[in-house]
């Protein structure tokens, strides 16, 4: 039991970044030991405990936002979050229990890989996040996505278990060979991309703004002019560097834009206000809230609320917009509330929005930008879909708001996820965050410029655009589906064998 808890805590700490990340390379070993030495019931309970501690430690920062949204104390939020933590820990119980039942401890490998992709989680615990500070380790994301890295990590843990428990060293040697090959490929990829980018004649020159206006001072009418002045001053400060685009963070333009049925975007007074407030003669992508009128019930408008990225042309006119596709669970939508409306009362501070439409935004020079807003970057299917589209984006612009994070692990973990998106699709990412961390990320995942959490400032970063689709963008999550198929096949085979034994 103690070993299980230590392994779970170590695995969770692996998501804290830096040197902590290597802990995931050994943290699952106690789980294999439980599957090999315990009854299925005992292995299930130990695995479940492992999963709850693993998730609770890795994403400990979720308790403070939960307290804010639920308007309760942090200790009370920890208790209120317990059912969800237990739910997110459940796949590890099922993995250990089924491995014990089949007598195949290694079955945790495909079970763990598959759970990473298919088990519902508010904040997925991708193993690649823990290794993202070491860029060579994650370059294979461009080939197999995060599933490939998950296979490597779980395979190494299984190899260590078999070597220590049974003196069977072949699984460990095989795992080390794959891990070494992954490292060699990663080093080669980082160097190759650095050379290609240096030789590329194409450059995207983008100014990224970070106002770090306190969250409590935003969206207050009396503060609108003062907050707008912060971003105008930041934009003014970078004009001398001649950016092709100025990128604002999420929801920092504090006008609510109404459009929709009988009101096309270019027929509203929103563009007129933009001409007055942003006379920069440089394209701008603003982050704002919108109200889309989708119909009427009698004389009452039926409104859908969105978060949107709005492109302002050089002449101040409307150049297109893209809406947030993935509202954040428990913050912007409540899972299950369609069936049980009372669930909305659990989170009184929730700011509900609707799922919108993602669109490419095109600059006057023809540069195509895939727009991502906050939680959109957490789910890899969206960036992959955009990267596989025709035409494909030259870069991603990511607007996000981490201002309520209080400088804990959340901004760092969100940043690492943005790094994964760049590597998976071999597409640069320009990330503007309200209070940080704002960055420019090249195609290898290297951060070229950065503003720390809480810092007020702006920078101009020049990155080479995407130069073609990655293999992952073309083929998708084959590694995850292979894991799920192998797990189910072994489970079915064991069930058939047990049936024949009892017949």
- Give the tens place of pLDDT for each residue, 15-57: 887 778 889 999 999 999 988 899 999 999 999 999 989 888 8
Quote the DSSP letter at residue 392. P
Which pLDDT does position 15 carry in this prediction?
83
Taking the C-alpha atoms of residue 369 and residue 244, their distance in angstroms, rounded to an integer, is: 12
Place 109 in a pLDDT band, splitting at 50, 70 and 90.
very high
Which pLDDT does position 433 carry in this prediction?
93
* 1 pLDDT above the threshold of 80: no
Q: What is the mean pLDDT of residues 82-87?
A: 85
Which pLDDT does position 292 carry in this prediction?
84
* 220 pLDDT above the threshold of 60: yes
Greater confidence (442 vs 256) lies with 442
User: Is the separation of the CB atoms in 136 and 190 below 8 Å?
Assistant: yes
Place 403 in a pLDDT band, splitting at 50, 70 and 90.
low
Which pLDDT does position 423 carry in this prediction?
95
* 181 pLDDT above the threshold of 70: yes
Closest by alpha carbon to 128, among 435, 224, 143? 143
Q: What's the Cα-to-Cα distance from 313 to each of 182, 247, 252, 347, rounded to whole Å? A: 44, 13, 18, 39
User: Is the separation of the CB atoms in 231 and 456 below 8 Å?
Assistant: no
CB within 8 Å of 388: residues ≥ 6 apart: 469, 473, 474
Closest by alpha carbon to 354, among 327, 329, 379, 377? 327
Q: What's the Cα-to-Cα distance from 408 to each of 115, 403, 454, rounded to whole Å? A: 26, 11, 11
Spacing of C-alpha 332 from chain mean position: 16
Per-residue H/E/C for 434-484: CCCCEEEECCCCCEEEEECCCCCEEEEEEECCCCCCCHHHHHCCHHHHHHH
Which pLDDT does position 503 carry in this prediction?
57
Percent of the chain with pLDDT over 90: 41
Place 348 in a pLDDT band, splitting at 50, 70 and 90.
confident
* 225 pLDDT above the threshold of 90: no
Which pLDDT does position 265 carry in this prediction?
52
* 187 pLDDT above the threshold of 80: yes
- Give the tens place of pLDDT for each residue, 120-152: 877 667 899 999 999 999 999 999 999 999 999
Percent of the chain with pLDDT over 70: 95
Taking each continuous run of H as one helix and of E as one strand, the counts in the chain are 16, 13
Taking the C-alpha atoms of residue 310 and residue 289, their distance in angstroms, rounded to an integer, is: 10
Q: What is the mean pLDDT of residues 308-324?
A: 86
- Give the tens place of pLDDT for each residue, 471-503: 998 888 899 999 999 999 988 888 777 777 665
Average pLDDT score over the chain: 86
* 295 pLDDT above the threshold of 90: no
- pTM to 2 decimals? 0.90
| 3 state DSSP class of 123 | coil
Closest by alpha carbon to 415, among 133, 146, 186? 133
Look at the block and give the residue holding tokens 């904040």. 123
Q: Domain residues of the chain, as ranges?
A: 2-197+482-502, 201-466
User: Is the separation of the CB atoms in 95 and 47 below 8 Å?
Assistant: yes
Place 284 in a pLDDT band, splitting at 50, 70 and 90.
very high
CA atoms within 13 A on the CB side of 158: 23
Closest by alpha carbon to 469, among 367, 413, 387? 387
* 379 pLDDT above the threshold of 90: no
What CATH number is given for 201-466 in this structure?
A: 3.60.110.10
């Amino acid at each position: 039991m103690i070993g299980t808890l230590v392994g779970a805590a170590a695995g969770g700490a692996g998501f804290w970044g830096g040197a902590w990340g290597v802990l995931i390379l050994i943290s699952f070993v106690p789980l294999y030991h439980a599957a090999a030495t315990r009854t299925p019931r005992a292995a299930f309970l130990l695995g479940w405990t492992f999963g709850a501690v693993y998730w609770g430690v890795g994403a400990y920062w979720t308790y403070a936002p939960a307290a804010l949204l639920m308007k309760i104390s942090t200790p009370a939020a920890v208790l209120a979050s317990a059912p969800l933590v237990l739910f997110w820990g459940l796949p590890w119980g099922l993995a250990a229990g089924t491995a014990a039942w089949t007598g195949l401890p290694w079955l945790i490998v495909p079970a763990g890989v598959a759970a990473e992709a298919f088990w519902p989680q508010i904040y997925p615990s991708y193993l690649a996040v823990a290794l993202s500070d070491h860029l060579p380790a994650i370059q294979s994301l461009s080939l197999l996505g995060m599933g490939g890295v998950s296979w490597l990590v779980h395979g190494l843990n299984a190899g260590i278990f078999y070597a220590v428990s049974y003196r069977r060293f072949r699984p460990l040697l095989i795992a080390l060979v794959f891990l070494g090959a992954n490292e060699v490929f990663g080093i080669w990829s980082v160097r190759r991309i650095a050379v290609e980018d240096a030789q590329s004649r194409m450059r995207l020159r983008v100014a990224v703004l970070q106002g770090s206006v306190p969250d409590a001072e935003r969206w207050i009418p009396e503060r609108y002019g003062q907050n707008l002045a912060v971003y105008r001053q930041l934009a003014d400060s970078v004009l001398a560097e001649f950016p092709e685009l100025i990128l604002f963070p999420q929801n920092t333009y504090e006008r609510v834009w109404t459009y929709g049925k009988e009101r096309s975007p270019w027929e509203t007074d929103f563009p007129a206000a933009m001409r007055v407030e942003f006379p920069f003669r440089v394209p701008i992508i603003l982050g704002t809230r919108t109200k889309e009128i989708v119909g009427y019930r009698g004389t009452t408008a039926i409104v859908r609320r969105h978060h949107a990225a709005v492109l302002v042309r050089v002449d101040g006119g409307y150049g297109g917009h893209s809406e947030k596709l993935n509202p954040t669970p428990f913050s912007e939508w409540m899972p299950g509330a369609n069936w049980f409306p009372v669930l909305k009362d659990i989170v009184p501070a929730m700011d509900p929005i609707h799922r919108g439409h993602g669109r490419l935004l095109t600059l006057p020079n023809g540069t195509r930008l895939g727009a991502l807003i906050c939680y959109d970057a957490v789910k890899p299917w969206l960036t992959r879909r955009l990267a596989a589209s025709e035409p494909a984006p030259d870069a991603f612009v990511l607007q996000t708001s981490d201002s309520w994070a209080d400088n804990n692990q959340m901004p760092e973990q969100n940043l690492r996820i943005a790094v994964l998106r760049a590597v998976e699709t071999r597409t640069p990412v320009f990330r503007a965050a309200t209070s940080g961390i704002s960055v420019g990320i090249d195609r290898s995942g290297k951060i070229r410029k950065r503003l720390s959490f809480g810092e007020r400032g702006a920078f101009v970063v020049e990155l080479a655009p995407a130069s073609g689709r990655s293999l992952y963008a073309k083929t998708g999550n084959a590694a995850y589906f292979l894991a799920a198929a192998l797990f189910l096949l072994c489970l079915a085979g064991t069930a058939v064998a047990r049936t024949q034994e009892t017949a």
